[in-house]
């Protein structure tokens, strides 16, 4: 609590806030207006509750309360008439439609709102129940949640899909078309954001008490258009239409301070008053997360920066209209955009402010919820576990320290003990360009209190190291949270490591690598037990049951029921059917049906016609040098060259192949964008070549997203996961593809290794150098030009001859290999990559063996369910238990 006794209000009345720090953009907050009444009331009300200690139970229930409870706890009926009523009610009363003005957009919205009614009811039940029994919760803090669509997912979870299909059919709509009206919630870049979405799905399905916390970006991941072969970014205005899947919480709002100065509180060692001159309000929006086959509904709480009260009426009245709204603009921009970078750190000031807004609101909310239990703060770690999804939410650590020291008046040691027992940290990368660091001067200016706390954390930590390893100056320099560069930098991964009780990597190889590289010194100082592995997983609900109905039906038939959807170990039963001829034919047919569906999607999005009888060879993921889409397209060029050299009869005997690419490049990542251009340039030439026809087609599917992935993943025969060994922490799309009966062509990297262990070496095509060999190759290539093997040279020659248009625009890509040190070792791996392609082709020609591989793969994928991952986190890091909701 603040010193004036109010919990919410800052030391300065909010609406008199004004920037005074030199060089800080003027936020144009209106001067001297009275504090809004609502804030005083809510602060006082909370204070009363806190003083009462017993929280909400203090009131004795009245008759109305009992009726209220009886009503709110009785499930809405599931019959067609009730569903139809509620859809029609929303059509007319929520969306003002008449029978003549219903279109599929409003059919979707009304259906979605009627589903949401059910979810919100269960949401209430779930959270009330968890409060009542005093369950410990996990809070998964992530700046990204790549959720995708919710409607179909919710229908499946509630087991109401057929009912809604029927009701929509009655009013003249196909469910599939209605589902297609929904826009993706794309609040993430790629794997890291999708992982967070899979994890909250698993929490809900497995009845674990827990929430995701994130930011509600007004513009999510940009939409990718391909114009003249180049990527063009367009804003993702996903909130332009009503969003049924969020619930605004104007009553859940916290002030977040920036800038200003510190005043030491006399008589205390570590207590400061932060006199800030800029305060923004973060307001909560809740996204219910349907749990499949359970009453439990999860939640993602997203913060949005509020602009109410920042309109300057005085400036408006004086005719300064831009000035009047300046404060609103400055506030809103904080949660306007997702930074569309993947595995890079940009060091932008706005990003740091975003991160802090997120962390401050989240920690205030967690502490407020905890305090309603009336327990002493020392018990916070018994009630809350906080997982940091990469370093982006690391400021949560100094923020909790600030709350405990300054607001709650705890001593340092107790505050630090509580903090480190609460937090755990997931590392997602070892790429140097992704390591999050912030210049000390920037941090000091924006978050002076946190900079002070970080200095103290570092001081106490280094004192401990010094005691343990006296006179090792090098160690102190290397392990310090503050990097002694000019200017100094805060190393966020080190802060996260020091402030957490567990640090985990996301695949076995990755967890080993971080112990030997970035956290090597920390292993020496803190011991090995702090560093654990939690191999990633994917949600079987979305990545099989929802995206692959044909194969799901087969699995259900073999298992005997749908229990595999929440217990993937049951898919092992497929192994018993691997020799059943009739079953194998249906398996193949399911894959072919998925390929036809993708062929339709490709035709609709690109105008390119592909044959579903060809081998579908897919690489869909963010475009990044380490993922080596360049190596893939170079091998396609080489293949094209070989086909052109052949006599027609020989060419006709070749295995037809469709090479599918999809993925976005960060807007400022020039090399990655040139790779997209090269792929499209090759596609244009190859697809138009009559001599080639269906033997080779190259497709770049634009605007990769969760929904696009749901079309692409079930249709692959092989998918490529070909990162330079040691660079892909885990990967998760490798898991999705294999779960859907596709085979991996990949390097010995990330989770490919564990997938190979599970499915067996017959079911995976490995190639390329190993992680421990990379350093030597890189060292050699720094000083020697690579000598490309003939195949690679052939591809270079073709580009340089202008086969794919203006050669000079692609020369920098060639130079990155020949002159740039070939950091990702394309020249090293290319020969074995070509060999692996040959092996794939040979195997695919033996259809019988191929079907066996496909069935066995799916049967052996249980480990890669996100349910397994979440159970490991719950048992080994969070210490939480599943509690199915009962009344
Ligand atoms: C799963 C997924 C990813 C992650 O793909 P990787 O190949 O593991 O990098 C990225 N984007 C989307 C839309 C996904 O669904």
**Domain CATH for 662:** 3.40.50.2000
194 lines ligand 1 (CB under 6 A): yes
> What's residue 29's pLDDT?
35
Looking at per-residue pLDDT, the higher value among 314 and 476 belongs to 476
Query: Out of 25-39, 146-160, 635-649, 783-797, which region has the weakest mean confidence (pLDDT)?
Result: 25-39
Structural domain includes residue 702:
yes
Question: Cβ neighbours of residue 629 under 8 Å, at least 6 residues apart?
Answer: 619, 623, 661, 663, 675, 679
Distances, alpha carbon 640 to alpha carbons 645, 654, 660, 810, 817, in Å: 9, 12, 15, 18, 21
Looking at per-residue pLDDT, the higher value among 764 and 61 belongs to 764
Count H helices and E strands in the chain, helices first. Answer: 35, 24
Atom of ligand 1 nearest to the CA of 705: 13
State what percent of residues in the chain have pLDDT above 70.
Answer: 92
Return the SS3 of 447: coil
- CA atoms of 528 and 514, how far apart (whole Å): 11
Q: What is the pTM of this model?
A: 0.92
Q: Is the pLDDT of residue 612 over 50?
A: yes
- CA atoms of 430 and 438, how far apart (whole Å): 17
Atom of ligand 1 nearest to the CA of 731: 8
Q: Enter the DSSP assignment of 378.
A: G
Mean per-residue pLDDT, 407-412: 98
Q: Enter the DSSP assignment of 72.
A: H
- CA atoms of 447 and 453, how far apart (whole Å): 10
> What's residue 307's pLDDT?
80
Closest by CA to 874, choosing from 27, 207, 419, is 207
> What's residue 61's pLDDT?
52
Structural domain includes residue 145:
no
Q: Determine how many CB atoms are found less than 10 A away from the CB of residue 313.
A: 10
624 lines ligand 1 (CB under 6 A): no
Contacts of residues 34-43 at CB distance under 8 Å and 24 or more positions apart, as own/partner, are 35/9, 36/309, 39/8, 39/9, 39/14, 40/6, 40/9, 42/8, 42/251, 43/6, 43/7, 43/8, 43/9
Question: Cβ neighbours of residue 645 under 8 Å, at least 6 residues apart?
Answer: none
Distances, alpha carbon 549 to alpha carbons 570, 626, 814, in Å: 17, 33, 43
Mean per-residue pLDDT, 442-471: 98
Structural domain includes residue 93:
no
Please compute Rg for the chain using Cα positions: 28
> What's residue 118's pLDDT?
96
Mean per-residue pLDDT, 681-687: 98
State what percent of residues in the chain have pLDDT above 90.
Answer: 89
Q: Is the pLDDT of residue 98 over 70?
A: yes
Interval between CA 146 and ligand 1 midpoint (Å): 9
To the query of whether residue 33 is one of the catalytic residues in this protein, the response is no
Q: Is the pLDDT of residue 142 over 80?
A: yes
Closest by CA to 397, choosing from 384, 410, 388, is 388
622 is in which domain, residue-wise?
Answer: 588-864
Would you say how long the chain is, in residues? 887
Return the SS3 of 613: coil
821 lines ligand 1 (CB under 6 A): no
Cis omega (within 30 of 0) for bond into 487: yes
> What's residue 457's pLDDT?
98
3-state secondary structure 317-336: HCCCHHHHHHHHHHHHHHHC
Return the SS3 of 238: coil
Q: In which band, very low, low, confident or very high, does the pLDDT at 502 lie, cut at 50, 70 and 90? A: very high
727 lines ligand 1 (CB under 6 A): no
Residue among 190, 193, 739 to mutate when testing ligand 1 (max atoms within 8 A of CB): 190
Interval between CA 195 and ligand 1 midpoint (Å): 9
- φ/ψ region of 390 (left if φ > 0, alpha if ψ in -120 to 50, else beta) reads left
Mean per-residue pLDDT, 827-836: 98
Distances, alpha carbon 193 to alpha carbons 88, 144, 200, 214, in Å: 35, 5, 11, 10
Mean pLDDT of the residues in the chain? 92
Q: In which band, very low, low, confident or very high, does the pLDDT at 261 lie, cut at 50, 70 and 90? A: very high
> 19: burial class by Cβ within 10 Å (0-12, 13-18, 19+)?
buried
Structural domain includes residue 225:
no
Structural domain includes residue 103:
no
Judge whether 669 and 344 are in contact, CB under 8 Å.
yes
- CA atoms of 439 and 347, how far apart (whole Å): 8
Question: Cβ neighbours of residue 69 under 8 Å, at least 6 residues apart?
Answer: 61
Q: Helical H runs in 607-699?
A: 629-645, 648-652, 670-687
> What's residue 327's pLDDT?
87
Q: In which band, very low, low, confident or very high, does the pLDDT at 34 lie, cut at 50, 70 and 90? A: very low
Supply φ then ψ for residue 728, to 5 degrees.
Answer: -90, 115
Torsion sign (Cα): 543, 155, 337, 225: positive
Question: Cβ neighbours of residue 568 under 8 Å, at least 6 residues apart?
Answer: 540, 861, 862, 865, 867, 868
> What's residue 418's pLDDT?
98
Judge whether 357 and 303 are in contact, CB under 8 Å.
yes
Interval between CA 20 and ligand 1 midpoint (Å): 44
Count of structural domains within the chain: 1
Structural domain includes residue 560:
no
Residue among 188, 709, 864 to mutate when testing ligand 1 (max atoms within 8 A of CB): 709
Mean per-residue pLDDT, 544-564: 98
Structural domain includes residue 427:
no
> What's residue 37's pLDDT?
28
pLDDT digits (tens, 9 = 90+) for 178-189: 999 999 999 999
- CA atoms of 573 and 578, how far apart (whole Å): 10
- CA atoms of 734 and 743, how far apart (whole Å): 9
- CA atoms of 832 and 174, how far apart (whole Å): 48
> What's residue 433's pLDDT?
94
Cα angle value 573/199/741 (rounded, 5°): 35
Structural domain includes residue 601:
yes
Return the SS3 of 219: strand
Query: Out of 35-44, 79-88, 708-717, which region has the weakest mean confidence (pLDDT)?
Result: 35-44
Q: In which band, very low, low, confident or very high, does the pLDDT at 62 lie, cut at 50, 70 and 90? A: low
Q: In which band, very low, low, confident or very high, does the pLDDT at 63 lie, cut at 50, 70 and 90? A: low
709 lines ligand 1 (CB under 6 A): yes
Q: Is the pLDDT of residue 56 over 90?
A: no
Interval between CA 418 and ligand 1 midpoint (Å): 35
Catalytic residue (choose from 130, 736, 837, 863): 736
> What's residue 330's pLDDT?
87
């Amino acid at each position: 609590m603040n010193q004036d006794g109010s919990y919410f209000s800052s030391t300065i009345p909010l609406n008199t806030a004004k920037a005074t720090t030199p060089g800080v953009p003027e936020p144009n907050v209106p001067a001297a207006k009275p504090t809004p009444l609502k804030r005083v009331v809510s602060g006082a009300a909370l204070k009363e509750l806190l003083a009462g200690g017993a929280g909400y139970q203090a009131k004795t229930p009245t008759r109305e309360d009992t009726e209220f409870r009886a009503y709110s706890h009785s499930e809405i009926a599931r019959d067609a008439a009730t569903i139809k009523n509620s859809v029609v009610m929303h059509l007319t009363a929520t969306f003002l439609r008449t029978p003549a003005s219903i279109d599929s957009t409003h059919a979707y919205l009304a259906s979605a709102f009627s589903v949401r009614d059910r979810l919100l009811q269960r949401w209430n039940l779930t959270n009330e129940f968890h409060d009542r029994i005093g369950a410990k919760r996990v809070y998964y803090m992530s700046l990204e949640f790549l959720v995708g669509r919710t409607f179909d997912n919710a229908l499946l979870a509630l087991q109401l899909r057929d009912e809604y299909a029927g009701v929509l059919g009655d009013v003249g709509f196909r469910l599939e078309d209605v589902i297609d009206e929904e826009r993706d919630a794309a609040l993430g870049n790629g794997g890291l954001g999708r992982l967070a979405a899979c994890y909250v799905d698993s929490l809900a399905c497995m009845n674990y008490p827990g929430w995701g916390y994130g930011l509600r970006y007004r513009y999510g991941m940009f939409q990718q258009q391909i114009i003249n072969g180049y990527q063009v970014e367009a804003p993702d205005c996903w909130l332009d239409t009503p969003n049924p899947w969020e619930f605004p919480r104007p009553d859940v709002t916290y002030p977040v301070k920036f800038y200003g100065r510190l005043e030491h509180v006399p008589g205390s060692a570590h207590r400061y008053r932060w006199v800030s001159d800029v305060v923004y309000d973060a307001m909560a929006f809740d996204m219910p997360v349907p749990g499949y086959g359970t009453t439990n509904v999860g939640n993602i709480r997203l913060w949005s920066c509020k602009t109410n009260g920042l309109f300057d009426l005085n400036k408006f009245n004086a005719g300064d209209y831009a000035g009047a709204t300046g404060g609103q603009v400055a506030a809103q921009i904080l949660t306007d955009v997702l930074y569309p970078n993947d595995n890079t750190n940009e060091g932008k000031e706005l990003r740091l402010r975003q991160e802090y807004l997120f962390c401050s609101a989240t920690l205030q909310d967690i502490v407020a919820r905890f305090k309603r239990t009336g327990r002493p703060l020392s018990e916070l770690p018994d009630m809350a576990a906080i997982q940091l999804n990469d370093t982006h939410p690391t400021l949560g650590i100094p923020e909790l320290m600030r709350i405990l020291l300054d607001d709650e008046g705890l001593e340092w040691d107790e505050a630090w003990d509580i903090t480190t027992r609460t937090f755990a940290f997931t590392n997602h990368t070892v790429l140097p360009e992704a390591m999050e660091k912030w210049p000390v001067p920037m941090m000091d200016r924006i978050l002076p209190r946190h900079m002070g706390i970080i200095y103290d954390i570092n001081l106490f930590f280094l004192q401990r190291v010094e005691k343990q390893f006296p006179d090792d100056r090098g160690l102190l320099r290397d392990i310090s949270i503050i990097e002694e560069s000019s200017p100094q930098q805060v190393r966020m991964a080190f802060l996260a490591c020091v402030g957490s009780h567990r640090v985990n990597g996301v695949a076995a190889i990755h967890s080993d690598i971080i112990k030997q590289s970035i956290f090597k010194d920390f292993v020496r100082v803190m011991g090995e037990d702090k560093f654990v592995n939690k191999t990633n997983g994917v949600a079987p609900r979305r990545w099989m049951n929802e995206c692959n109905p044909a194969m799901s039906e087969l699995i259900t038939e073999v298992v005997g029921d749908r229990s595999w959807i929440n217990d993937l170990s049951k898919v092992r039963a497929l192994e018993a059917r691997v020799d059943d001829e009739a079953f194998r034919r249906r398996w193949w047919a399911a894959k072919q049906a998925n390929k036809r569906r993708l062929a339709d999607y490709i035709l609709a999005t690109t105008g390119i016609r592909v044959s579903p009888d060809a081998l579908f060879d897919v690489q869909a993921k963010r475009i990044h040098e380490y993922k080596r889409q360049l190596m893939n397209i170079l091998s396609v060029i080489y293949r094209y060259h070989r086909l052109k050299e052949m006599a027609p009869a020989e060419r006709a005997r070749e295995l037809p192949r469709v090479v599918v690419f999809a993925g976005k490049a960060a807007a400022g990542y020039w090399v990655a964008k040139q790779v997209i251009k090269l792929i499209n340039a090759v596609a244009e030439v190859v697809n138009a070549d009559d001599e080639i026809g269906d033997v080779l087609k190259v497709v770049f599917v634009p605007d990769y997203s969760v929904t696009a992935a749901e079309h692409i993943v079930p249709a692959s025969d092989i998918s490529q996961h070909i990162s330079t060994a040691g660079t892909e922490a885990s990967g998760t799309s490798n898991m999705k593809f294999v779960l859907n009966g596709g085979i991996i062509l990949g390097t010995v990297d990330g989770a490919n290794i564990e997938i190979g262990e599970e499915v067996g070496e017959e079911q995976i095509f490995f190639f390329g150098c190993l992680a421990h060999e990379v350093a030597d190759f890189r060292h050699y290539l720094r000083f020697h030009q690579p000598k490309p093997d003939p195949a690679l040279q052939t591809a270079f020659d073709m580009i340089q001859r202008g086969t794919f248009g203006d050669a000079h625009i692609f020369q920098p890509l060639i130079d990155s290999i020949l002159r740039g040190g070939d950091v990702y070792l394309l020249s090293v791996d290319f020969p074995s990559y070509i060999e692996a392609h040959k092996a794939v082709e040979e195997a695919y020609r033996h259809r019988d063996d191929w079907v066996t591989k496909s069935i066995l793969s799916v049967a052996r994928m249980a480990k890669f369910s996100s349910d397994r991952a979440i159970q490991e986190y719950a048992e080994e890091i969070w210490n939480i238990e599943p509690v199915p909701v009962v009344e």
